Structure 1
């Protein structure tokens, strides 16, 4: 072809020669004279999917058009199309997954998170002048949240629901991020994993649980690892440990502190009701906010108190130590410069992140060298991002099946479903995956037609997906 010889001259790469042919460099900053519109189809795309950047209102009498990564850098070319010769030339940013069509649209296959960013489309007139310059931001969402299989990067954690429980009530020690290849799990009273303090165990192969020596008859362990305590007493306060084993015999441990509020209880010694305690304010915090670990019932004659990150009171985990006599604070190795200690024992955490989630330990010592310890659980969540929903088929026949899947970039997130802007009422024909991020409707009926959405939420925020319409056709 003639264009091939033109683009092969002067020792330039094909992309550089295409730029020179179109005279883009000369007219980069010329104003836009045509209203080109770009649509992303679909509007939201998940890793592994394909996306079409569709161009509407393509100007007439063009010499060429080109796609670039970013907004300003002409060297980040993806592809240029010559309308004179009906051929395209790939640029340095072409990954082999892009296809440029004669109508200007760009097809990208098997997208990844690295494809997120701005894409710029430029058109050049037959006189070599820039006619239009239009950009679009492509957001590729992670498929990190797989139904029934939390990310392998997510850490095993336990959450007390509610964070504090009155004696006589019930509490769920809710487990997040169980190993994908779980073989068995064990619950223990305290921080050790000895047999005599084992509460219960669960074996996945048998889908059954067995009580241990420390089982009181009030505990129930579930297949998702969570432990339900019923009719709690003040004696149930303290640490609990979860141990998991996967099929490769890899062990993982997680701890949680169960706080039983004895202030309303009549069963215990009045002195016990005035025990040292800590209230996180707020109980659930968003990233970037602050959490005050508010201390109650400090010892009389207090001499020193120390704060630690985690359950181990070693120098590596010490945040700070305060001396009453000298009124001095000594920062520890775990101090991040975001903590502020107060003379009443409380600790303020500022600009918190998810990494601040976990247990905190306060150790106090009085003039009689009496040592009293208290613990608090800090829960920090990222603000929820908008989830993306996919459906196997948007038009189905009655009596067939359809599956909706909800994708979210967030971990430690919960999913709920909406139908026509109302909370979805599950029927016997509907099933949810264990993590509730996949909804299956069996034996579809006409009344199932409508708009479906999924909502990703945590204790501090929620976001709802764009609606997906389901049409139902009769046989």
Structure 2
């Protein structure tokens, strides 16, 4: 708020200028023409101005001036005293550094405030009577301002009042430097132009409003007020405008609404709150992210809400298999399910484009793959890839296991097979060890039998030979010798 003055741009009135005015008035008004009087200069004061309480028609031979607060000469309320003899100044109990007394008895109050409003009394003593004469003057300090009766909100009524209300003054309104004229059904002015009514505030009413207070010749005050109209939020817009996306891509949506103050944003996905941000970002979307995306905007000043909805479709694919474990010679049906019919579809087998064989058949739109009969070579991972405009999306892989026809019920777990192999190996080792011991035992028994047969054969040979030069019979010692020789053999 600007400070008021006697010019359109209010400010301090230099006290030196006021002193010059005092001198001129003192010369212009002869002392014999009127009694002592005190007037405020300027006559209407606003906070921040300098005001001179001017003594008019001062005595020709003054000796003492005393200023008091109020309509009194109470010594406790004395502001300041000036003794003409010796030009001595004596501050009193209510003196402040904003008070200055001049030799002609006038009192200057600098940078006046609201609390300076009131009565002031001057005691004048001259050398003729030595009896002081008291003169009172009333000072009123105004606080110029433009008052709003309510917050400026679009669509509401607003009344601007120019303060202060000073009888005899005229008022004029300006907006952004241009004079305001009354407009039926839009702008109304009171009889003295002190109030300006905006019947239906719009955002275009935002701007700087000034109220000029003047008398017949001079601008006394010119107050200003910046009007900031709250409005909105208007219907929000969601960008980009694209509604179709491929799975695996990032989704970024931005919501914007014209509002003062700026709107508060909330995102909802399929009716559930996602977050309170102006921008929504979801990385690597999938088909489950399809749905309704709502941007809600709210203005706390106006209390208004607005919404915008964007229906998002995420194109992707899911494979549905008649069975994931199938027996050789049976048939297999794989279906590629998409968000929308009629899209271009390609089948992938073990990360390679599927090469069709005589046993494979595709539906007219490529969405259904039939294999009949299934062979062992058909075992592996199947995917379908969907194409939309400039992007594509692959389904998650589905693994198909094929069982051989003649081993349908003999399949063993790897652990069981390993156990059988280890058990057979251990049994084989034990059989080899047993066979070795049996072989060794049989061999020893056979050799022992041979030795006994040779020994008996030798004994019989000697017994049956005809008598020659040898004795007719062998002694026991000779028999042992023969047995020993046979064992050696």
Structure (1/2) with the larger strand percentage = 1
Which structure has the larger Rg? Answer: 2
The question of a shared fold, defined as TM-score above 0.5 by the shorter chain, is answered with no
TM-score where L is the length of structure 2: 0.31
TM-score where L is the length of structure 1: 0.32
